[in-house]
Every structure is written in C-alpha cells, then in structure tokens.
Amino acid sequence: MAIDLTQNRPEFLQSGLSLDELNVDPIKQFELWFKQAIEADIIEPSAMSLATSDGLEVSLRTVLLKFFDDKGFVFFTNYASKKSKQIESNPQAALLFPWLALERQVKISGRVEKISTLESLNYFATRPKDSQLGAWASHQSSRLSSRQVLLTQFEAMKNKFKEGEIPLPDFWGGYRVVPHSIEFWQGRENRLHDRFIYKRVEDVWEISRLAP
C-alpha cells in the first residue's frame, strides 16, 4: 500500500456527552450542536451526506442543509437527478453531518417528502441569479459529452431569461427528511465513544444510549 494508514489512531478527548445534558427534544439538541459547529468555524457545517436507495443500489452524495425545524431537515436539488429517482422509488433517506473537528457526528434517518412549490419558490427567489440559471442549465446526473455543452446551455438560459425574474424550474425544489431517528455521537478516549439515539415512538422521542 502506498500510504500506511494503520498507524493513524486519533484519540478523541475534547468532550463527552451524558443523558442529563441532552435536550429532550432532538431538534433543540441539533440546534445547539449546529450553533457550536458554526462557532468552531468548521468548514460548511451545513454540508451533509445524503444516502438513498432504490432497493437495488445505495448511493450517497453531499448536499447542503437549508432549513430545519420540528417538521424536518430540508435540502434543494434537481427533481430528475439520480437521488430524486431513488427517493421517488423509496422515500427513505439517511443524513450524516461529519463534524470531525468537534469529534462529533449526527446521523438522521427518516421519510422523505417534497416540500410545497411555494416553499421552493420562496427559497429559489433568494438565490443569486447565476445559481438560478445554473439550476435551469443543468440536467443533473445525466451524461454530458463536454463541459462546453453545459456552458452553452447556461448561456442559452441567460438569454432566455434576460428580462424580469427567473422562474422556478418545475424540475427543481426541496425535499424534507422527516426524522424517525436522530443519533448524536461524541468521540471519547479509548474508542469508548458516547452515542445517544432518539427514536420517535408515536409522538414521543425516546432516548437510548448505544454501545460505541
């Protein structure tokens, strides 16, 4: 092997996590950790891995969290992309926030639903014009014969929408992951990490400690 990774043994010593310090509401607990990730200046705390599967294949990619609240975790994408096709066939997904600088990760799994067109429109309107055009120009996840094809498509959209507001593409918008479980992981010494999982049982969140 070109690089020997077997001796890479980071120790996680920054902090611990106990049941008494956890908020009974996992969304509030997530909000606290999210704020701490921002304060710690980590790169893109809102970047999360999104795993989907159509039952045959599992696939994974990074997307950006744009909103979260009691209803769930929202990201935006192309509704004809690979991830969207998988979500259509199996509306279950997992999210992972790898906040490694804080020796933390948060894992979320849940049901995925499309947000309303109005919610997508409200967010689309806040995007810079070039990002709006980018959404129009890219048939995300389809094969491209060259970068030039993409740039030509971008120019064509720029021309098409040179006057007035750029409309929301009907193939673009948000999805909400409605969580049924949320796990908070804090690295500890000797691989004896702290893990707590919240599971929604009817309308109540039950918390359990998991072995690391």
**Which residues are designated catalytic?**
191
Report the residue from 83, 104, 188, 193 that binds ligand FMN according to the rule CB under 6 A.
83
Which one of residues 29, 77, 105, 132 is an interface residue with ligand FMN (CB under 6 A)?
A: 77
Residue 203 and residue 125 in contact, taking contact as beta carbons nearer than 8 Å: no
Give the residues across from 53 on adjacent strands: 58
One of 29, 81, 105, 132 touching ligand FMN (CB under 6 A)? 81
Backbone angles phi, psi at 135, to 5 degrees: -65, -40
The residues facing 205 across adjacent strands are 200
Q: Could you give the residue ranges of the DSSP H alpha helices within 6-146?
A: 26-39, 82-89, 117-124, 129-137
Nearer Cβ to ligand FMN (29/81): 81
Q: Please answer whether residues 86 and 53 qualify as being in contact, where contact means their C-beta atoms are separated by less than 8 angstroms.
A: yes
Query: Residues in contact with ligand FMN, total (CB under 6 A)?
Result: 16
Using CB under 6 A, which residues numbered 84 to 123 contact ligand FMN? Answer: none
Of residues 96, 94, 99, 93, the one with CA closest to residue 34: 99
Out of 141, 171, 178, 207, name the contact with ligand FMN by CB under 6 A.
141
Q: Does 61 bind ligand FMN (CB under 6 A)?
A: yes
Q: Which of residues 5-34 bind ligand FMN (CB under 6 A)?
A: none
Tell me the pairing of strands 67-69 and 104-114. unpaired
Binding of ligand FMN by 53 (CB under 6 A): no
Contact 119, 66 (CB under 8 A): no
Please calculate the CA angle 44-50-51 and round it to the nearest 5 degrees: 155
Q: Name which of 17 and 115 has its Cβ closer to ligand FMN.
A: 115
Q: In this chain, which of 11, 35, 58, 62 binds ligand FMN, going by CB under 6 A? A: 62
Residue 202 CB, nearest approach to ligand FMN (Å): 32
Q: Does 80 bind ligand FMN (CB under 6 A)?
A: no
Interacting residues with ligand FMN (CB under 6 A): 44, 47, 59, 61-64, 75-78, 81-83, 140-141
